[in-house]
Structure 1
């Protein structure tokens, strides 16, 4: 992200060195987090995550019961039964691991899907503001992308964006 911004600035600034470059900046995370829809997404994600957690817990409990039964009876099992039960336990454990990995992937994808309309809405507002005010670019100041911005040169539009997106 930093490299992209620096690259763009390296291309734009020399061309307009004599002209005043107008730009704005804002905190993407702060604005995104203040959107009312974001709270709804977070609540939906909590519900979905709790469903996956409940299923994971149920599967772990099932495995534990079978494992305890195996431990209690392993001395009395014939070798073929012992091998069969060990294979069953191994299969259950592998399925549980696979489910946990798939659940993480599905949660991440669900969050991205739920956030997509919010990101599109924010992008549309940024584009509109940029075009209306003649900004050459609008910077995202999150994650130390821009460690210093001279407030006399650029405009902080964080508060305005938060208000527009309510």
Structure 2
């Protein structure tokens, strides 16, 4: 009986010790860090170039539609009903094709953006992982989403500086936790900006 009681107390104590251990976590503003990476600027520049090319084609199509529409409006009083109907269908088809082209461009730009950012995000995730392993962290909270309600500054570790250092990003701000919320402080002046 005493042996069973001792064994039960041992398991209860062991369970309490295990449940009392808390995971150590880090936090970082993933999106802000991503946008500070030099590769991100290069990707955005490439994307702007692609957008510019598409914008020129959209404007050309728009001008062509406007030209045909004005021409139709000027001539419609002198045309037979069947020709008016035919031209209206042609204009509608041209307008629909232009709209479809714009939609396709939007989808293509989104896919191209994802393609350009994927290796950059992967590099950042690998760096965050390296910092976490180096600091023996269990997990990381992404503060850019704003889905956390509170971060205990005694338990959480701001890994921003370490990640910036590994990525070669010069940081002009530091993140501090005030009232359970990560807040950016500019090193140039003590102005605070909430994340």
TM-score normalised over the length of structure 1: 0.86
Question: Equivalent residue for 1:100?
Answer: 102
Structure 1 segments unaligned to the other structure (5+ residues):
1-13
Equivalent pair of 2:131/2:162 in contact (CA under 8 Å): no
RMSD over equivalenced CA pairs, Å: 1.6
Structure 2 segments unaligned to the other structure (5+ residues):
1-15, 169-195
After the TM superposition, which residues 1-166 of structure 1 pair with which residues of structure 2 at under 5 Å, given as runs? 16-166=18-168
How big is the shift at 1:16?
4.8
Figure out how many residues of one structure are paired with residues of the other and give that number. Answer: 153
CA distance in 1, matches of 2:147, 2:49: 33
Post-superposition Cα deviations, 1:108-164, rounded to whole Å, max 9, x if no partner, equal 111111000011111111222222221110110113122321121111011221221
Structure with a larger share of its residues in helix = 1
TM-score normalised over the length of structure 2: 0.74
Q: Secondary structure at the match of 1:155?
A: strand
CA distance in 1, matches of 2:151, 2:62: 52
Q: Which has the higher contact order (CA 8 A, sep 6+)?
A: 1
Post-superposition Cα deviations, 1:40-97, rounded to whole Å, max 9, x if no partner, equal 0111111111111111111000000000000000011122211211111011000000
CA distance in 2, matches of 1:82, 1:108: 39
